[in-house]
Structure 1
Amino acid sequence: MLVNQTSKLQTKLKKAVNKQQKVGLVPTMGALHSGHLALIGEAQKICEQVVVSIFVNPTQFNNASDLEKYPRNLEQDLAQIQSSYPNVIVFAPEVSEIYGKNVAAEEFDFGSITTFMEGEYRAGHFNGVGTIIKRLFNLVKPDFAFFGEKDFQQLRVIQKLVEITEQPVKVVGCATQREVNGLAKSSRNQRLTEEQKEKAAIIYQALETAKNKFNQSSIAEIKTEIKGIFEAYPEFELEYFEIADVKHLVPTETKQTNTPYRAFIAAFVNEVRLIDNIALNY
């Protein structure tokens, strides 16, 4: 069921509220793949009514070219959803429906979790993410919202957003869906050739290397090894590789006991930027 206007969306949702149904939200930017469908499946396990938003949010792009090239195919997205989840409400608004005439991000204080990694390399990105998710929460008023762990830093931002805005939403993190070769499923993968997709397996292989060596090697040694992996593939540009504690997301060079860590990576394949992460010790 496709809805483009917020007024019609809220009319549909009022029926669910009147029936005391749990409402789940799966925010997406379209170009759907099986990872998105897995999120919808998780939502349907605990929610009687699921809303999937399809909206390429302009305020979270710090690169105009990246926004322009972001894959869009609403018709194909709808077909995927309706074939597997026919009772889902698909909310696909125009930019003006969300922002009116003022297409600008709000400012949020997310603390250290947005200082490094994506926050460092994509200025303003998380303010844009916070803005659109806050607005979607206000429109849908979901009981649960579902996000993939591939964007783990974003997941932490959404959790912090709920804390800041005191919204009664339970944020559910879902496991990263991967290709057979380990490459994290992403809408941006549509911009890769088949050969590039195969070679991009080195991103996950690098994370697996970090995980396997985490207990016996220093973080400096791990970073050196990861850098060496990418030096063997000149068509790839390693933007960053960091190991950070899960709570604060501050990169570290030393390991503390009883502290969960994740490894985070971003790399370019030609002009396509891919990110991924992995839990190291929990």
Structure 2
Amino acid sequence: MSPTTHRLAPALGLTALLISLLVALTPSAARADDPPADPDPMAGAPTVGTCSRMTFDEATQYSAPDATYDCTTRHTTKIVALGTLPDGVSWDQPAKVKAAVGEACGPAWQEFSGTDPLRFTRSLLTGWWFAPSQEQQDAGARWIRCDESLTAGQKLVTVKTKAYAKVTKRAIPNSVGRCVTSKYAYTLCSAPHAWKHTGAFYAKKVSDNQAKGQKQLERKAKKGCPSRVKGNSYVWSQHYRGHHTYVIVCYSKD
């Protein structure tokens, strides 16, 4: 058996809101011919450095729950950056939004995970991004929210630490490291586990055909992991990087 990551990208679908306008019959009521309020590009924006208690399912949505908490209390994600859509770009332009997300969130995510896939795939660190809700967009919001979490399969790990440890060229701290339990589920290496990451390598030119591609990955793991583990037994996991390329992580009995 091999653990498998489940990294979902938020879908670009927005739920339309039905807005009822109530006009009170008082001298202070807004008049129909009053000018609309100026758009606010930061309408409803959260504060960088605060945290959330969202679930994995909530993290895969286009917009995040509004509630935030002090990061010294239990939480599942931390807001690490905010950006804005460039002028002339709208939310219904996926390619341009994706580029804007990279500009806004990439540096903050890399501050924790680094830039080497052979290193950061050996951790549970995961970056997420969110757009304003439809109501906030109607008020002019153009901000992009960038979060960081520790993700074990389809679960966000609850922590109380104010900041996640960083993956570096020299170390992958146990507090963020990817380990595997005796039931073949991901867990932090600082928690009870049966297997610990001890190496990783690229598997390239993998077929798009699921059955064929999986057999290729199994052969590559069988060939590449023995030199990267301690002992005679190991488990491995696969992590898609795009363009028919995966990172295979090898785990030694620990």
| TM-based fold match above 0.5 | no
TM-score normalised by structure 1 residue count = 0.25
- TM-score in terms of structure 2 length: 0.27
Select the structure that is richer in helix: 1
Higher Cα radius of gyration: 2
